[in-house]
Amino acid sequence: MEEEKLVVKKVEFLLSVPRQDMLPVKNMPEYAFVGRSNVGKSSLINMLVQKKNLAHTSGQPGKTQTINLYEVDNSWLLADLPGYGFAKASKAQREQFRKMITHYLTQRANLINVFILVDSRLEPQNSDLEQIDFMGENAIPFSIVFTKTDKLSQSQLAKNLSIYEEALAENWQVLPPMFYTSAEKGRGRDELLEYIRKMNSND
Ligand code: GTP
Ligand code: MG
């Protein structure tokens, strides 16, 4: 039998809303991308669906300020969210983003899995570890996606990953699924799409 190709045939921007309760009710599986500002959430979405400018990206943190929903192949959804820990935003705005993300994560009924994006170049950041703990406390399924791996040598990457695993092991007996990606090079795309495909079909 011919192997099923990991292709995305159609992607459609659905809408952009400032609050989770303004999202339409959907009964398709939804996957969200969460992480610090500038970690590469919007870039990863573009890489997955192979559309350069679908989700708006920027070298300046704080680009995505709303919840943006995309429908893929008429059968599943991607949600691009604002980042947390954006230092230049006002305290009020940071709190507003935090609230938006928390409401979304705890109340979105069709949310199947959250990808927590972590910059592979950095040592474990408290804001990310807190977000990961939040997922556990609220029993929200998640995986970790290391981003920007093209910016590191193989040995630096391996070292950073093992430091990260050690930090996670302090609170987690079983480590979550982890992916190693580069939006620049397309690295990790097949693995992520395969993972999503499996979840979509309940394998
Ligand atoms: P906010 O919307 O502000 O929360 O940021 P974001 O997480 O959506 O980040 P975004 O995708 O806008 O990317 C931020 C910057 O990092 C941009 O300049 C991207 O080009 C760059 N970037 C993202 N992913 C990668 C990657 O895998 N490799 C490299 N080299 N650069 C990347
Ligand atoms: Mg963004």
Tell how far the Cα of 147 is from the centroid of ligand 2, in angstroms: 13
Tokens of 44: 């990863």
Tell how far the Cα of 162 is from the centroid of ligand 1, in angstroms: 23
Tell how far the Cα of 131 is from the centroid of ligand 1, in angstroms: 19
In angstroms, rounded to a whole number, what is the distance separating the alpha carbons of residues 69 and 172?
31
pTM for the predicted model, two decimal places: 0.95
Q: What is the DSSP letter of 175?
A: P
> Quick one: pLDDT at residue 7?
82
Q: Which atom of ligand 1 is nearest to the CA of 45?
A: 11
Q: Is 83 in the pocket of ligand 1 (CB under 6 A)?
A: yes
Strands of the sheet with 67-72, listed across from one edge: 11-17, 67-72, 76-80, 30-35, 111-119, 142-147, 178-180
CATH of the domain at 129: 3.40.50.300
Q: What angle do CA 16, 22, 23 make, to 5 degrees?
A: 65
Q: Is 38 in the pocket of ligand 1 (CB under 6 A)?
A: yes
- Ranges of the chain with pLDDT below 70: 1-5, 203
Return phi, psi of residue 30, to 5°. -125, 140
Q: Which atom of ligand 1 is nearest to the CA of 183?
A: 27
Domain holding 21, by residue range, is 2-202
Question: Beta strand 30-35 with 111-119: parallel, antiparallel or unpaired?
Answer: parallel
End-to-end Cα, the chain, rounded Å: 19
> Quick one: pLDDT at residue 94?
86
> Quick one: pLDDT at residue 86?
74
Tokens of 46: 């573009």
Q: Is 20 in the pocket of ligand 1 (CB under 6 A)?
A: no
In the chain, how many domains are there?
Answer: 1
In angstroms, rounded to a whole number, what is the distance separating the alpha carbons of residues 4 and 29?
20
- Per residue in 16-59, pLDDT (tens digit) is 999 999 999 999 999 999 999 999 999 999 999 999 999 999 99
Tell how far the Cα of 201 is from the centroid of ligand 1, in angstroms: 30
